[in-house]
Structure 1
């Protein structure tokens, strides 16, 4: 931003001048980022641990940890952990939304906030110490007004980026074709759309066509209209979606078996490294973040899926909603490439 230092002259003094200048520079930075993520249904994630789960009795929990959550937000956090930059667009309402914003500001995340009347939802994750079991309680997102819906769509019309990651669930009362509308807007600006959702929302957006999708094997089966798929059938199923223009790249999550990436010309199966798992929260988002970061760095598709799998695996090595540590990703990647 050095070129603006001598060119900008505001006839405004004190805090107002500094405020306007910061907004100007923030907007310019946003439009220069290669990656933008969209989270229309974010969450304030609260995680803790406890011992013993007994009905009708008070459960004593440890000190809670708070994290900014939601698909796109987690993807942006993953990209930042790898040393990359992204612009994070998300909705925010009420006191939970304010805390969400504060958490992202503390992490110095470049963001665009769409204010909503209804409060941002919360999620609760609890880890039982003796059984090593994790309990995840997810709450639905509140409804948007017609004006708020238009603000979300307008935010995509005004963004300039190479990749738009649309990730997470839809809010209560939101039409199943809402992501499809967003994808259509992005494609008009030649933005590569990466979608990570499920159900009717995913089916609808594929009618418009996107750059990359990340279903699990069960979701892929539903997309091609069959009840079940074996791993050996995944490549053929993915190619059906590629051939009809639904997507250019399909990355199928195989859980503990890793993941497989299929494009028109390449197929790469990557086994997940063996690690001690503590939490699966954010593993999928970490995988998407790693892959999109790798794409933005012009990595090969083989490298893209390797980095994605290592990020997703590394996320399972940490408690609660912390995602991964970069050093764990680098170590797993080095071991994988030996």
Structure 2
């Protein structure tokens, strides 16, 4: 795809009024298509207690996708580390890497990926982990992935991470602002700036600063401060059709982020009708959110992505597309790939 690599972040949205079990199979089918189209990576997100998104166990979906594809790199975008033992996460992803050497990525984030209730349930019978623990969890995860030898006085000094003898996954951190760059840089981890989360401006200085602070580590870490951006993109035959398709996820975000209602993804025509009944401030947020999504013809989307990649000085862009129709979503990724291959 020319000089710019295209990758996918999949939130496993529920399409066409189907159920979440169908949505997981849609993810498998979309990943197979992405593999055929030449996409570089396919990352699976993690969400809990969210009717619109089906992937609550990305590590299981990753294994299924890797087994059903040939060359595309597969990973998490991301595992919400605050819920889990770093040792267990390391073992899970080393197991995946043993089955699929050189193809597994481990992207992690600090967000809960769900409601307060789901965070409490995930931690039960203990209390949810404080965000203050995240740097220590990430440090431990990195050590376990790299088979780092702890100092003798450390409680993990005699511990090994199994399975041994295989490759290790690439480690990445995810962030929607500059909150994680010092941590990622100091630990020698790759960094993904999630532009599709929120509508606020993100300066190119975020990635410049990350690279300036980056200190490489031994092992399988990305070198030279590897960075990517992740953008919401919907491509269609016309700009008008792409904006129409984007209405489904835009309306969902209005309800989720302004009212805490995590409902299903509705058809775009329904969402445009419901949007007219929103308060003026919610309507303003609707338009602000839709404007943050790259929409247009394939060539228009390519131009905008290349512009973003140049601004942030990255050579890989992860693309997020959520539509009500699964076929329209596949078509968007298909058209985008063709635009970059033309």
Q: Same fold (TM over 0.5)?
A: no
Q: Which structure carries more strand by proportion? A: 1
Q: TM-score range by the shorter chain?
A: 0.3 to 0.5
The TM-score normalised by the length of structure 2 is: 0.36
Greater relative contact order structure (CA < 8 Å, 6+ sep): 2
Larger radius of gyration: 1
